[in-house]
Homo-oligomer: A and B are copies of this chain.
């Protein structure tokens, strides 16, 4: 996806992560979404074997190239825009954005600026002082304000960032049946259903109405009409055969 190179200006910064598995899972998640830069600040445990087990072979390069700093100020000094993530909804509630909102804002910012997505430690998150130094704050919506696994939070942010810069796919929509094709099919169907006594010959249009309603809901394609008329023809043939056989039997 060469059009997503704004993602090259995004770095995941994990502040004091506690578990190596979370570092590895975060690395894989970021790379899944096209973000290949990871910075660790004072990790509590950075056992590479455990990191790599969760990163999988796929994100091993990302893990080997990640930068590790001793303090947050040094880690952030070259970034132009820092987004802090928080689960808290305290005093700064007014300023909290959703991942979708922040992603839409970040796409143009990324074009000319280095952006850091900053995540706090698993148990405590970022402090209020750390949050105050961020340009923007984001919180992942959850049911009942529950707390997310660190790598899951990284995933949601990266997922929204990838999507925010991706044009929606041009959906392939098969050619729908024309009005003329539909009318031909309904006429054919009515004759066939009358022939096999499925619908009442005294009021055929009443019965056809339900059938029309059903097919309208489906949105019939040209191909579907061909299949349905094919089945009708087959019924016609079968009933004709049957009629001939019965006539033959009667003659014998």
A residues contacting B by CB (< 8 A) are 1, 4, 7, 25, 28-29, 31-34, 58, 94, 98, 100, 140-144, 146-149, 151-152, 155-156, 159, 162-163, 166, 169, 172, 174
Residues of B within 8 A of A169 (CB): 98
Given the contacts A141-B166, A166-B141, A31 and B155 also touching, CB distance less than 8 Å: no
Q: Tell me if B28 and A149 are in contact (CB < 8 A).
A: yes
Asked whether, in the complex, the Cβ of A29 is within 8 Å of the Cβ of B149, the reply is yes
12 A-B pairs within 8 Å (CB atoms) are namely: A1-B143, A4-B143, A25-B152, A29-B149, A32-B147, A32-B152, A34-B142, A98-B169, A141-B159, A141-B166, A156-B156, A156-B159
Known pairs A151-B152, A162-B141; A58 contacts B146 (CB<8 A): yes
- Bound CA span A152–B149, Å: 10
Q: A166 to B98: give the CA distance in the assembly, Å.
A: 12
Q: Taking A151-B152, A152-B152 as contacts, is the C-beta distance between A32 and B159 under 8 angstroms? A: no
